[in-house]
Structure 1
């Protein structure tokens, strides 16, 4: 049985003001570096006029798999985004570390209010923004997941969709010349699900990473 881990239940935000500066903390689940960076870019695009958009994340450095489910190295990243060194990114990341949550990305947006807060004041504000956003999101226990693709002709697509729905897994389907399902499944269940798909389609399904 693969060990569960703690992460945020979904996207959330928290907002407050300190001596005229507005802070908005955002958090989101993220399964890897690409997803984390995409969320950071999304927040930067949402607040292009912000004084700072400070990111921090703890995500798997590589994909989980049945042969390597729980030992995936974590990539921890933070940036001060122009704030004084150590005043913002590190305090934001420390919240994620101290609460032992992973597969998570945080961004704290700051609009400068005209009064310098000092390194200590900044550190307290950035950590508070992440803490309150995490509280708003809620923390849950998750099992490591992996993703794979399953491609079939239209004749088999109903069978595959039915199996995926009965398994209760997350998936997206693209209907083009053939039907391609992108499946997200707990690592412990992935091999059995792939075998079910092979058996149900008499081996016609094309499975990919």
Structure 2
């Protein structure tokens, strides 16, 4: 997978509108993995299980890039593909979307559906906000108490995100830009004379 900066969304987004009696609800969420995307889709389907359709699409950074869309019972090509096309057109990655539709009794036709599903995704993305992100990975670092201050000092000086859990030993869960990961591991290994147990990337 490339270590280049990529476009994604900053947070979850939401959109709602009505066309000819049919209610459309757009949901967008940043995701890290295909599993995240599929869990998000299932959660929306569970929450809106009384809806006529829940149309999903996602683009997830993997090797190769994973793309998925489904019409969920709408006419072929009228729903899932337009939703995915918005993500492709805006070059967004690590994004999952679901458009929920409650049918209002009036057929919209394929053209109307394409327009509505595209609009729901676009508006949900606008609500979420587009941002640029660098690929990150998770590292798990385990050290004894004597080394924990040293490791914490390195993590703080590097400005990476981390959480520390103090038990019999100290476990740091670290989120580090992929391109900086090797240097950080080398620095910690050197500072602790190899006593730090570093594993990753983790899911």
User: Per the shorter chain, which TM-score range?
Assistant: 0.7 to 0.9
Alignment of structure 1 residues 1-209 onto 2, 5 Å = 2-61=3-62, 72-209=63-200
- Structure 1: gaps spanning 5 or more residues: 62-71
Give distance in 2, aligned partners of 1:203 and 1:192: 14
Quote the Cα distance in structure 2 between the aligned partners of 1:166 and 1:37: 36
Question: Structure 1 residues 143 and 81 mapped into 2: Cα distance closer, same or farther (>3 Å)?
Answer: same
Deviations 1:45-75 (A, max 9, x none): 32222222111111023xxxxxxxxxx4210
Mark the CA change 1:159 to 1:47 in structure 2 (over 3 Å): closer, same or farther: farther
SS across alignment from 2:104: coil
For the residue of structure 1 that corresponds to 2:73, the secondary structure is coil
The C-alpha deviation readout for 1:117-152, integer Å capped at 9, x for no partner, is 222111111110001111111211212222222122
Moved more, 146-155 or 3-12: 146-155
Number of matched residues?
199
- What SS does the corresponding residue of 2:42 show, helix, strand or coil? helix
Query: C-alpha displacement at 1:170, in angstroms?
Result: 2.5
The residue matched to 1:130 in structure 2 has which SS?
Answer: helix
Change (3 A) 1:196 1:15: same
> Which structure 2 segments of 5+ residues have no match?
none
CA distance in structure 1 between the partners assigned to 2:188 and 2:102 by the alignment? 51
TM-score (norm 2): 0.88
Provide the secondary structure at the position in 2 that maps to 1:116: coil
What do you get for the CA RMSD once the two structures are aligned?
Answer: 2.0
TM-score of the superposed pair, with normalisation by structure 1: 0.86
* Mean Cα deviation higher: 14-23 or 171-180: 171-180
